């Protein structure tokens, strides 16, 4: 059993030259760079992080998403829906039981 803790949603740094250029190109073409580029890229990064937790169907683990945007922002739902089936909780007692029951 293991845990992956993600303190911030994995958005690329918008000042990175490549990211900035892609954002600018999308905006110039009339697209919403945040919803069409930044969110999908961050979702891929989150799924990769989840993949480090669960390698086989018998693996069990805890993914802790500490960024409150996952529940506070409308796009948080897209992140949660992109992951394989899982149980969601905000109850620390439930997390402790999960690890005790192993």
Q: pLDDT tens digits, residue range 71-86?
A: 999 999 999 999 888 8
Three-state DSSP at 61 gives strand
Reported as half-sphere exposure (CB side, CA atoms, 13 A), residue 81 has a value of 7
Share of the chain residues as helix, strand and coil, in percent rounded to the nearest 5: 50, 10, 40
Q: Are 70 and 9 in contact (CB under 8 A)?
A: yes
What is the reported pTM? 0.85
Q: Are 38 and 75 in contact (CB under 8 A)?
A: no
Question: What is the tens place of the pLDDT at every residue in 30-85?
Answer: 999 999 999 999 999 999 988 888 788 788 888 889 999 999 999 999 999 998 88
| Banded pLDDT at 4 (limits 50, 70, 90) | confident
Locate the domains of the chain by residue range: 2-101
């Amino acid at each position: 059993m293991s845990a992956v803790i993600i303190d911030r949603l994995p958005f690329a740094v918008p000042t990175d030259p490549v990211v900035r250029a892609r954002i600018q190109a999308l905006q110039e073409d009339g697209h919403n760079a945040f919803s069409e580029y930044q969110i999908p890229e961050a979702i891929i990064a989150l799924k990769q992080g989840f993949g480090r937790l669960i390698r086989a169907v018998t693996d069990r683990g805890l993914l802790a998403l500490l960024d409150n945007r996952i529940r506070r922002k409308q796009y948080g739902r897209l992140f949660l829906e992109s992951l394989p089936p899982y149980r969601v909780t905000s109850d620390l007692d439930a997390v402790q039981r999960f690890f005790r029951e192993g």
